[in-house]
Amino acid sequence: MRNEFSLAYLVPLITILLFAVFFKVVVKIPLIWSVVVTVLGYVAYAFLQTALAKLLFGSIAAAQGNASNGYLLQFASGFITILLSIWLYKIGWGFKFDFERLRFKFEDVLMILLIIFFLIFVSVIFYYNDLFVNILFFAAVTVFLLYYAIRKEAEEDND
């Protein structure tokens, strides 16, 4: 799709949808949580990769300038993500909420609408490929989704 139909800006959206379906079907978590987990992971990783592109190369265009820059960016992103994951696991950080206790209230409908907005907006952002907007957008979405997930987990601990 990326090369044959010149639809590179849609690839992230399709990837997000495929991972959400994967979590729903294989991991067996409710659809809303599969989308939340997928979007949160994607946004956090995109924020890391965008920040690394700015730090290492000055821009996304420079990172895409030649294949070795792309490989270095992918390696650095993966390496940092693995180290961060191991560290978070060792200190006991993570989410342990009961996915099956999903309650559909007004808040959940709002969350669904925000995720749909994110999926549409991320396609537009990648289409225009503005580095500063990428960093701001991914940081804001990461903070929002982490706040939402932490608050939901705290609510379940209080029940």
pLDDT in tens, 100-130: 565 545 655 666 677 777 767 776 766 676 6
Q: How far apart are the C-alpha atoms of 147 and 85, rounded to whole Å?
A: 19
**DSSP character for 121?**
H
pLDDT cut 90: percent of the chain above it? 20
Tokens for 42? 């994607």
CB 89 within 8 A of CB 96: no
pLDDT greater at residue 81 or residue 124: 81
Mean pLDDT for 5-23 is 77
Residue 42 pLDDT > 80, yes or no?
Answer: yes
H helices of the chain, in order, are 11-22, 31-57, 60-63, 67-90, 106-128, 131-158
Residue with the larger pLDDT of the pair 76 and 136: 76
| Phi, psi (rounded to 5 degrees) for 64 | -90, 0
Task: Tell whether the model's pLDDT for residue 94 goes beyond 70.
Answer: yes
Look at residue 106 in the predicted model and tell me its pLDDT: 62
CB atoms inside a 10 Å sphere around CB 38? 21
5 vs 94, which has greater pLDDT?
Answer: 94
Predicted confidence at residue 1, as pLDDT, reads: 47
Mean pLDDT value across residues 12-34? 79
pLDDT at 74: 92
Strand, coil or helix: what is 26?
A: helix
pLDDT band at 2 (very low <50, low <70, confident <90, very high): low
